[in-house]
């Protein structure tokens, strides 16, 4: 079946139910630690779960290690891991989250749903290179900064997947002043003005 509200992925009712259970867990914890903004609590499925799930369609075959930076409330990292249990068994997802309370939530979610997840409660700058096959980050920082992290933590043959808002063209132009990279711009299924940037071959730009 194609899950309603899960663009780009085809999953079982069991996986949909796990995502619904995760939504309830986010709602419960948000009352204490603000995992998502209060203005979007009533729209967690569309604004956060569905928005996160759509990036999974760009998962490269054979990838074994997915690194998610600034995982926050588990978007997209926990959503990716729930989908991977059915669609990519054997994928390990590493979540980097410096806020200890949010890291505790991520560990709780991973344990509750039996996910193959590692949580690093450290700043991104302090973790060793990860050689990830896939690297993601959602609503974390400007593209130039994300490419710096990707150049450190992504395997040379890996892919970075960054959901971006309506200013993505401006971010691309700014990033190209310091970085060379190949990018595919994919439409966002949750926001007609947004895009998903699928980026490979990241290198520092040659200085003039």
- DSSP per-residue letters across the chain: -PPTT-TT----HHHHHHHHHHHHHHHHHHHHH-SS-GGGGGGHIIIIIIHHHGGGGGPPTT--EEEEES-TTTTTHHHHHHHHHHHSTT-EEEEE---HHHHHHHHHHHHHHT--EEEE-S-GGGSPP--EEEEEESSSS-HHHHHHHHHHHEEEEEEEEEEE-TTHHHHHHHHTTTEEEEEEEEE-SS-TT-EEEEEEEEEEPPP-
Binding site members for S-adenosyl-L-methionine = 70, 75, 124-125, 138
Q: 5 pLDDT band (50/70/90 cuts)?
A: low
Binding site members = 70, 75, 124-125, 138
Q: What is the mean pLDDT of residues 116-123?
A: 96
Q: What is the mean pLDDT of residues 162-188?
A: 96
Q: What is the mean pLDDT of residues 118-140?
A: 96
pLDDT above 70 covers what percent of the chain?
A: 97
Q: Is the pTM of this model over 0.85?
A: yes
pLDDT above 90 covers what percent of the chain?
A: 84
Q: What is the mean pLDDT of residues 1-12?
A: 70
pLDDT digits (tens, 9 = 90+) for 23-70: 999 999 998 898 988 777 888 998 899 999 999 999 998 999 999 999
Domain 13-204, CATH number (from 3.10.580.10, 3.40.50.150, 3.50.50.60, 3.30.70.20)? 3.40.50.150
Domain spans, the chain: 13-204
Average pLDDT of the chain is 93
């Amino acid at each position: 079946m194609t899950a309603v509200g899960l663009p780009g992925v085809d999953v079982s009712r069991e996986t949909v139910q796990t995502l619904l259970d995760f939504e309830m867990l986010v709602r419960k914890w948000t009352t204490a630690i603000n995992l998502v903004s209060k203005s979007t609590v009533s729209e967690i499925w569309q604004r956060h779960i569905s928005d996160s799930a759509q990036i999974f369609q760009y998962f490269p075959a054979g990838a074994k290690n997915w690194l998610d930076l600034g995982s926050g409330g588990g978007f997209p990292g926990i959503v990716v891991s729930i989908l991977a249990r059915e669609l990519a068994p054997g994928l390990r997802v590493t979540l980097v989250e410096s806020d200890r309370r949010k890291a505790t939530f991520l560990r709780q979610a991973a344990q509750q749903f039996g996910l193959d997840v590692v949580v690093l409660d450290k700043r991104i700058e302090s973790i060793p290179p990860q050689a990830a096959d896939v690297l993601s980050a959602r609503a974390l920082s400007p593209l130039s900064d994300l490419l710096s992290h990707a150049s450190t933590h992504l395997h040379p043959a890996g892919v970075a997947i960054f959901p971006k808002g309506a200013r993505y063209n401006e971010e691309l132009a700014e990033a190209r002043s310091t970085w060379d990279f190949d990018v595919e711009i994919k439409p966002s299924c949750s926001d007609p003005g947004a895009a998903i940037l699928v980026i490979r071959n990241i290198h520092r730009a040659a200085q003039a």
